[in-house]
Structure 1
Amino acid sequence: MQQRFDEEDKLLRIQREEFASQIQSASARQFLCSICLEEYSEENIVRLEFCDHALCRTCTKDYVSSKLEEHRFPILCPMCMADDHKGNPGTITDITVQQSGITNQQFDIWVELQMSQFSVLVHCRKCKGSAYVDRQDLEDTTLLPCPLPDCNYIWCKACQQSVVIGGAKHSCDGSSELDHLMKQRGWKYCPSCKTPIQKEMGCNHMTCMSPGCNTHFCYLCGGAIITSALRRDIQAAISAHYARCRLFEEVADRALLP
């Protein structure tokens, strides 16, 4: 057992000596910073992805800080940009940023810029809250629900108007909502100019009041009777229409319905 212990102890001493030698060798190696052109030991090296340019930690911190102040993202290798790099330029990665020694406030900016690649900050006008949503989902949808779980507000991405789920289909110009209301209340459009008309009392003969329209139509069937300003032609057309339709058909007034 003593012999076995001695062998293991000897092996451990050899491994420690090799490890110490590797550390000493790494410390002895020097590299040239691509920005300040000063030589530094291997432990102060920062190599960027793709291009393998070497920067010292001080220059890395200063460069990253300046780009974050400008809200530039992604942050590309300064040497690749200076050399008009034709391939994939080197980039500052998350690990590089964390090791560069920037402030917490600057790191918050970095995280926000990272998230902006894949998400968009959405503000809700109702609850005044904000949250990030997936950029692709935002591009694919026309209606925006509040991203916060305690708010059920929904609005149109194009016109910013609020949208009621379960109500009329939304249209930015209000035409779909008007159609829904017209059908709900039993109102009619003028068959010529499409002006909404509500009958309150009287017969089913309607005269469009829109300037220059001169259309007469039936409120019961919705059909056009005549477009004219001549009394004789109007009377003849009314008589012909109500020979097959009902002039005094009672139509339920649904204007007071909820």
Structure 2
Amino acid sequence: MPRQSIKKVDATSKEPDPIDGAAIPVPCGHVFDLACITHLFQSSVRDDSLYPPRCCHRNIPFTKVRRYVSQALIADFRLKGREKKTMHRVYCSSPSCNRFLGALHQKSSRKVYDCPAPSCSTRTCGKCRTKYEGVGNHNCVIDAATQQVLDIAQASGWARCPGCSHLIEKIAGCNHMVCRCGTTFDYACK
């Protein structure tokens, strides 16, 4: 007896695509194959606007797909979850890396993060978010180039996100802002 073909819906077309291999149902009633659901979760780890993964505006619980995906994706997804739950974040100070390291450390004692990325060995100060130069050599001061950017931002009326300190320029719309880190704030009040 031939196996019945299960279909998945492609958002760009009216015709559903055939499911290859395991059929993974999601809360909205749609069904994904392994390649598509893996791609969706990988994309959500790389792009904050896609996290958490959704279909039809409904979150897809990770428990539904965990047994189908690689250990590396499980680790990346857990790290993204930790990042999204952290209000004041510290990222690697190396511009070519920018990996999430942990929470901002606002106490007087210094917290130094060693970047765990395989191709990066940068040490970042958890208090000022700049490259850590070592005991006795590091002062939590903004460097001249960063200060120039902050001066331009202030003169232009830009705001800094109270959650992650990224600069935000409002081009149009209301003053209600939602940063890529998930923090909401009023642009006029900054």
Using CA pairs under 8 Å that are at least 6 residues apart, name the structure with larger relative contact order, 1 or 2.
Answer: 2
TM-score, normalised by the number of residues in structure 1: 0.30
TM-score, normalised by the number of residues in structure 2: 0.39
